Structure 1
Amino acid sequence: MRKLIYGSNISMDGCCDHTKIGGKEDILNYFRELFEEVDLIIYGRQTYELMYPFWPEVAQKGSDNAAEYAFAKVFSAIDNIVVSSSLESVENERTSILSDNIKEEILRLKQQPGKAISTGGVTLPAQLIEWDLVDEFHIVVHPVIVGEGRRLFSEMSLPENRNLKLVSTTTLSSGCVALRYERD
């Protein structure tokens, strides 16, 4: 069975708003390496619209930043599903829309052969965690306190604790700490 991996950047106080915590080359390299092990990305509409068309355009036009360009090339080669009840079409040929039977469809995708499946954002991953579909968590903690913004997992309600096992920690050159957890 394929793993469903959740990846996110957060501040020390749990904010996951990318405009407040920024990004650095080592973080792009970390997520590029993660995406090299993935052949499908599932996003909610808001996160999808943050990623597209930005990264495919960087992959197509190039970038002076080698880490940004390398990330964009890997990211743009992966198929995507956007979970949305409001989108009727997407311009990206590698993307399809999922609007019904989300839990069942993701369970079906996990049972297909292939590499891991990735997800990111807040609302959709919270739902996937509630349904107990996420197998692995990659959380990159930034050494900053922002004081406001959307919080990781604040929209989730679990009937009981989900215990995780810390598999690895990596301190990046920017001072960020990448934590990798698996379901216990």
Structure 2
Amino acid sequence: MRKIVAAINMTLDGFCDHTVITPDEEIHQHYTELLRNAGVILYGRITYQLMQYWQPLAKNPSGEKSMDDFARAIDKIPKIVFSHTLKNVEWDSARLATQPIEEMVSELKQQPGKDIFVGSRSLIIQLLKLNLIDEYQLCVHPVVVGKGLPLFENITDRTILQLLHTKTFNSGAIILYYKRANPEHK
């Protein structure tokens, strides 16, 4: 069975906003490898449209190796986009979800293949509420912004996580790897 892995960048004060963090070469390399080892990534409309930034770089490299490698990896990985407003997607490797998130994720999880990554805040919140996330990879960047969209917003049930390990980058960013603790410790 495939794992559902929530992988997202956030600020030290818990906000998700890709415009306030500056990933360096080391972080781009990390996420390039992550994408190369994933089977599919799930996005909501907003994150999907944000990630389309990389589409032109995949076709016309910038000359910055870590960014170009990431652009090729994000271009190649299959993407499923959950949206109520998009009618089509322009990325060849993307498709719109045709089922509700719970059904689609449950089906994907049963299929053979590499792990399924979730890269959108809104989807992470929905899947957390449905108890469908197997692992969290939270990349916390050393920046405080004081406002924005909190990662864990409108969560009403207590979820206890178990720290698996960490990865520290030279920039001071750190990835916290968690899994859901045993259900009896809820």
Query: TM-score, normalising length from structure 1?
Result: 0.93
- 1:25-174 equivalence runs, <5 A: 25-52=25-52, 54-154=53-153, 156-159=154-157, 161-174=158-171
Determine the C-alpha separation between the residues in 2 that align with 1:9 and 1:83: 19
Corresponding letter in the other structure for 1:149: G
1:84-119 superposed Cα distances (whole Å, 9 cap, x missing partner): 111111122221111542211110011001101111
Q: Whole-Å Cα distance in 2 between the matches of residues 49 and 158 of structure 1?
A: 29
CA distance in 2, matches of 1:158, 1:3: 24
> CA separation in 2, counterparts of 1:91 and 1:17?
23
Q: Is the contact between residue 141 and residue 176 of structure 1 (CA under 8 Å) also seen in structure 2?
A: yes
Instruction: Name the structure 1 match of 2:24.
Output: 24
CA contact (8 A) 2:42 2:120 kept: no
Please give the alpha-carbon distance, in whole angstroms, between the structure 2 residues aligned to 1:50 and 1:83: 14
Question: Runs (4+) of structure 1 moved beyond 4 Å?
Answer: none
**What amino acid does structure 2 have at the position aligned with 1:157?**
I
Q: Give the whole-Å Cα distance in 1 for the aligned partners of 2:122 and 2:66.
A: 28
Q: 1:179 aligns with which of 152, 156, 176?
A: 176
Please list the CA deviations of residues 15-42 of structure 1 after superposition, one character each: whole Å capped at 9, or x if unmatched. Answer: 1111112222221112112112201011
Q: Distance in 1 between matches of 2:123 and 2:30?
A: 22
SS in 2 for 1:13: coil
Distance in 2 (alpha carbons) for counterparts of 1:108 and 1:72: 28
Q: Distance in 2 between matches of 1:145 and 1:92?
A: 33
Cα distance in 2 for partners of 1:138, 1:36 equals: 16
State the identity as a percent.
39
Distance 1:85 1:10 in 2: 25
Partner of 1:146: helix, strand, or coil?
coil
CA distance in 2, matches of 1:38, 1:91: 21
Instruction: Structure 1: give runs of 5+ residues left out of the alignment.
Output: none
User: How many residues were matched structurally?
Assistant: 181
- Cα RMSD of the aligned pairs, angstroms, is 1.3
Distance in 2, Cα, partners of 1:164 & 1:47: 25
Summarize deviations over 1:52-89 as a string: whole Å, max 9, x none.
Answer: 2x212211111221111111111111111100111111
TM-score (norm 2): 0.92
Q: Which runs of 5+ in 2 are unaligned?
A: 182-186
